[in-house]
């Protein structure tokens, strides 16, 4: 058994670690609440954009919109994936689940391009032989609408230039307060069914609208804003999931540290008692020899 000094030093070290994990849990909880508030504040705006796009397509159904082009006849179609993971660890199974999900989604390595957000996913997928690109259109990644807009515009340019033919966003979503699940959303090309009203919900338009300079250009602007909204939603969900996972991981680490301190304290008391008993025995033995 270790002596009392060694056990005391170890208890001190575990207590210091517990302070760090507890602080990290509180920080993650604050970030989680902030992410949820950000998403809820912007959701009505982006939902209104989608409704406006539906309205335009109903009024001008024959528009030539390049964002609906599936390019099914094109050979060696390039499918791109935006994969969101964290930059750091201490997130439980968050990163490993996302990487595993990405591998399941990407069935054709040769014609697939991964746009990685987060160093963990970037390094892991690169090591597995995937074509990983780190340039997503921004110099510094952060969870806000401006960054989401820049990423969306960058991907739209790649799609329109023909560098990519399909784009999916892979992220982790908090389905409930206690459950997270990896999700995939196809960003490009757009699906017409996503911009159609449900059967029986169509309403008669009371008056005609004029679009300046043209309905195609108006729809183009709205498409960029819609993509920005979907991208931002995925980023916020991933950010919330990361911090929720980190919060749980730090909570478990704090609980384990408390259990370890209790165990070490018990060992310390035993060692101390053994040392006292030994000292008493030595004193009694010495007295008997006098």
What are the chain's domains? Answer: 4-19+251-285 (1.10.287.80), 28-249 (3.40.1380.10)
What CA–CA distance (Å, rounded) separates 132 from 160?
Answer: 20
Question: Token match 């980190």: residue?
Answer: 246
Tokens encoding 42? 């912007």
Question: Token match 């309905």: residue?
Answer: 215
Instruction: Tell me whether the omega of the peptide bond preceding residue 213 falls within 30 degrees of 0, making it cis.
Output: yes
What CA–CA distance (Å, rounded) separates 262 from 268?
Answer: 10
Residue 172 is classified by DSSP as E
Beta partners for 81?
114, 168
Determine the pLDDT at residue 206: 47
What CA–CA distance (Å, rounded) separates 125 from 119?
Answer: 10
Determine the pLDDT at residue 84: 93
Determine the pLDDT at residue 212: 72
- Residues 115, 118, 120, 122, Cα dihedral to 10°: 20
pLDDT in tens, 187-204: 899 887 777 765 545 555
In terms of Cα–Cα distance, which of 237, 95, 70, 251 is closest to 167?
70
Determine the pLDDT at residue 213: 77
Determine the pLDDT at residue 154: 93
Beta strands across the sheet bearing 112-117: 132-133, 112-117, 79-84, 166-176, 179-188
- Other CB atoms within a 10 A radius of the CB of residue 255 amount to 12
Helix axes 4-59, 215-289, angle to 10 degrees: 170
281 contacts: CB under 8 Å, gap ≥ 6: none
Write out residues in the chain with pLDDT < 70, as ranges. Answer: 1-2, 177, 197-211, 286-290
Helix, coil or strand: residue 228: helix
What CA–CA distance (Å, rounded) separates 32 from 24?
Answer: 12
Asked if residue 188 lies in contact with residue 167, where contact means CB atoms within 8 angstroms, the answer is yes
**What values do phi and psi take at 82, rounded to 5?**
-95, 115
DSSP assignment string, 17-44: HHHHHHHHHHHHHHHHHHHHHHHHHHHH
Determine the pLDDT at residue 112: 92
């Amino acid at each position: 058994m270790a002596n009392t000094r060694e056990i005391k030093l170890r208890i001190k070290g575990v207590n210091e670690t517990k302070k760090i994990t507890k602080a990290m849990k509180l920080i993650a909880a604050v970030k989680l609440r902030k992410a949820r508030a950000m998403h809820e504040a912007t959701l009505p705006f982006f939902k209104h954009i989608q409704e406006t796009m539906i309205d335009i397509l109903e009024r001008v159904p024959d528009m030539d919109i390049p964002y609906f082009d599936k390019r099914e006849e094109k050979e060696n179609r390039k499918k791109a994936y935006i994969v969101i993971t964290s930059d750091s660890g201490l997130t439980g199974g968050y990163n490993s689940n996302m990487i595993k999900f990405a591998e399941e989604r990407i069935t054709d390595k040769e014609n697939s391009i991964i746009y990685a957000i987060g160093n963990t996913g970037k390094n892991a997928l690169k090591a597995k032989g995937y074509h990983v690109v780190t340039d997503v259109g921004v110099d510094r990644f952060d969870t806000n609408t401006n960054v989401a807009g820049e990423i969306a515009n960058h991907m739209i340019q790649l799609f329109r230039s023909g560098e990519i033919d399909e784009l999916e966003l892979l992220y982790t979503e908090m389905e409930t307060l206690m459950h997270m699940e990896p999700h995939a959303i196809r960003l490009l090309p757009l699906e017409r069914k996503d911009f159609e009203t449900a059967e029986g919900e169509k309403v008669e338009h009371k008056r005609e609208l004029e679009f300046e300079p043209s309905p195609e250009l108006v729809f183009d602007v709205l498409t960029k804003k819609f993509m920005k909204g979907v991208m931002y939603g995925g980023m916020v969900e991933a950010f919330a999931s990361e911090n929720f996972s980190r919060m749980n991981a730090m909570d478990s680490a704090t609980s384990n540290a408390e259990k370890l301190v209790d165990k070490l304290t018990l060992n310390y008391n035993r060692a101390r008692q053994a040392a006292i008993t030994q000292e008493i025995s030595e004193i009694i033995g010495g007295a008997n020899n006098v």
